[in-house]
Structure 1
Amino acid sequence: MEPIESEGRTVAEAVDAALKKSGLRRDQVEVAVLQEAASGFLGIGAKPARVSLTEKRWGPDSPAPSPCTPRAARPAPRPSAPPRSAAPPRPVPLPRNLPPKPSAPSLSLNAPPPAPKPAVRQPSRAPREKSSRASAPLSASAAQQACAKAQQLVEEMLKLMSIAAPTVSTSWDADMERVKAVVESQDAPQLVGHDGRVLESLQFLATLILSRGDADSTSVQVDALSYWEKKERAILDAALLSIESVKATGKPVRLEPMDASMRRLIHRTYASSPHITTSSEGEGPWRKIVIRPKNQ
């Protein structure tokens, strides 16, 4: 058979066209690529792919394979020999001179029951008691010294915050045992911030630094625009209404959750009340004041 040439847009199309011309299968021919396809630039210089097909030559003793010739069936696998039975395990010799096993005690209906073991009494832990020892109030000289330190500390903190022309005045609050620092400045609204968060952070840092190295901590309250004064007055008014409700109904009343400084204010204000008692319950930001009648 003479070689057959064919063209196409790709080499595969050229090969298919040549196979149709020859009437042979792909495994019966050898393909030679005469020219690769080129797309050119905008269709200019485009060239088709050209291939040449040649029929494969087979020797006289090995005719060309026919597609209809089935493959030789594989011989069936030989049945495997049955597994050999394992030899029974040899008995392990026991050592001699072993003590005899203790025999189980015989149960008798008339035998008295065994005596119970004496119970070991665990030492009971004493319940923790809350310390009722109140901290001794500061002397006049110590309170004056704490006010001076707090004033200097708050002024330095305000300068670091770039507060315009701050003026700090301090005084000792004997009822709450704390230093009250009042700030006056044209930037006072920035100190109050949102819900007094800036003031709360200032007094937390001032209390932490002022109490460093002392056995008893001295609280500092930093106020501006009478923010804490107004809030404490509102808290005490709400507590007073709840106290009147407790007196009328004899049932406990729970206030809204509040921070530690506000709870401390209520505890100290009504500590000597003859009609009610105050306590705190809850955890974290949900901790609240509970007002109960005195007889409960």
Structure 2
Amino acid sequence: MKVVEKTGKTVEEAVGQALQNMGVSIDDVEVEIIEEPTKGILGLFGAKPARVKVILKEGASEKAVDLLNNIIKSMNLQVELDVVEKKDFLTINLKGPELGILIGRRGETLDALQFLVNLSVNKNKEVRRKIIIDVEGYRHRREETLQKLAVKLANKAKQRGRSVVLEPMSSQERRIIHTALQGRDDIYTFSEGDEPYRKIIISPKK
């Protein structure tokens, strides 16, 4: 956490100096007034400048990384965090040996970890920042697997002339299936059931 203390004739002047020193705007900091300025006797003797403490707010990436590091430390894992910031979202890819425990069955643990980080980082925030947590590129590999599965099962549904029911999936994985098949005119997809047992149905068009 970066903290700068500055003095000035006024509180505004002291804050301005701190912001210039830190290279940030007023929206990026919290200001604590340590001492208000005093004019002294006849405006000359005993005058004191304003004194402020300016604290840089913790950004989404810093907060997410701190939380993940605390979780990883408690699990005694050796992990390297690769952070990529985009305009609308933040991606954190975890790298290291034996990280299967962070992925879990079909990515369930990874999804839960991502949900926890998003919930914590965006708490009481007016503008929410989407944070994607990945482990060794697992999400990309899983997406490719689901896309291939979607095509295979769609062809199966068409050939047999009856619907194919997939196993329950998360909303994110169901979206991948729907997107992979949305351009086809020989089958259609829909979801049924309640979370967390909601599943996709692939049906041939009559």
Indicate which of 154, 169, 172 corresponds to 1:258. 169
Kept after mapping to 1: 8 A contact 2:64/2:121 = no
Aligned to 1:154: 64
- Structure 1 residues 261 and 153 mapped into 2: Cα distance closer, same or farther (>3 Å)? farther
Aligned to 2:135: 224
Aligned to 1:82: none
Supply the distance in 1 between the matched residues of 2:126 and 2:177 (Cα, whole angstroms). Answer: 25
What fraction of aligned residue pairs are identical, expressed as a percent? 26
CA drift of 1:156 comes to: 1.2
Bigger relative contact order, structure 1 or 2, given CA contacts below 8 A and separation 6+? Answer: 2
Matched, 1:279 2:193: no
**Which structure would you say has the larger Rg?**
1
Supply the distance in 2 between the matched residues of 1:216 and 1:276 (Cα, whole angstroms). Answer: 39
Supply the distance in 2 between the matched residues of 1:263 and 1:152 (Cα, whole angstroms). Answer: 31
Query: Which stretch of the first structure deviates more once superposed, 272-281 or 206-215?
Result: 206-215
CA drift of 1:290 comes to: 0.9
CA RMSD in angstroms comes to 3.3
Q: Going by fraction, where is strand more abundant, 1 or 2?
A: 2
Q: Partner amino acid for 2:84?
A: T
Matched, 1:168 2:82: yes
TM-score after normalising by structure 1: 0.40
CA drift of 1:213 comes to: 5.3
- Structure 1 residues 196 and 248 mapped into 2: Cα distance closer, same or farther (>3 Å)? closer
Structure 1's unaligned 5+ residue stretches are: 1-148
Q: Going by fraction, where is helix more abundant, 1 or 2?
A: 2
Indicate which of 110, 117, 120 corresponds to 1:206. 117
Aligned to 1:185: 96
CA drift of 1:154 comes to: 3.0
Supply the distance in 2 between the matched residues of 1:265 and 1:240 (Cα, whole angstroms). Answer: 11
Supply the distance in 2 between the matched residues of 1:255 and 1:216 (Cα, whole angstroms). Answer: 36
CA drift of 1:241 comes to: 0.7
Structure 2's unaligned 5+ residue stretches are: 1-58
- Displaced runs of 4+ in structure 1, greater than 4 A? 210-219
The number of equivalent residue pairs is 144
CA drift of 1:275 comes to: 3.1
Supply the distance in 1 between the matched residues of 2:104 and 2:197 (Cα, whole angstroms). Answer: 23
CA drift of 1:224 comes to: 1.0
Aligned to 2:146: 235
CA drift of 1:264 comes to: 1.7
Aligned to 2:155: 244
- Structure 1 residues 165 and 232 mapped into 2: Cα distance closer, same or farther (>3 Å)? closer
CA drift of 1:210 comes to: 4.6
Deviation string for 1:96-137 (max 9, x for gaps)? xxxxxxxxxxxxxxxxxxxxxxxxxxxxxxxxxxxxxxxxxx
Kept after mapping to 2: 8 A contact 1:150/1:206 = no
Kept after mapping to 1: 8 A contact 2:81/2:92 = no
- Structure 1 residues 242 and 152 mapped into 2: Cα distance closer, same or farther (>3 Å)? same
- 1:96-107 → structure 2 map (5 Å cutoff): none
Query: Which stretch of the first structure deviates more once superposed, 212-221 or 192-201?
Result: 212-221
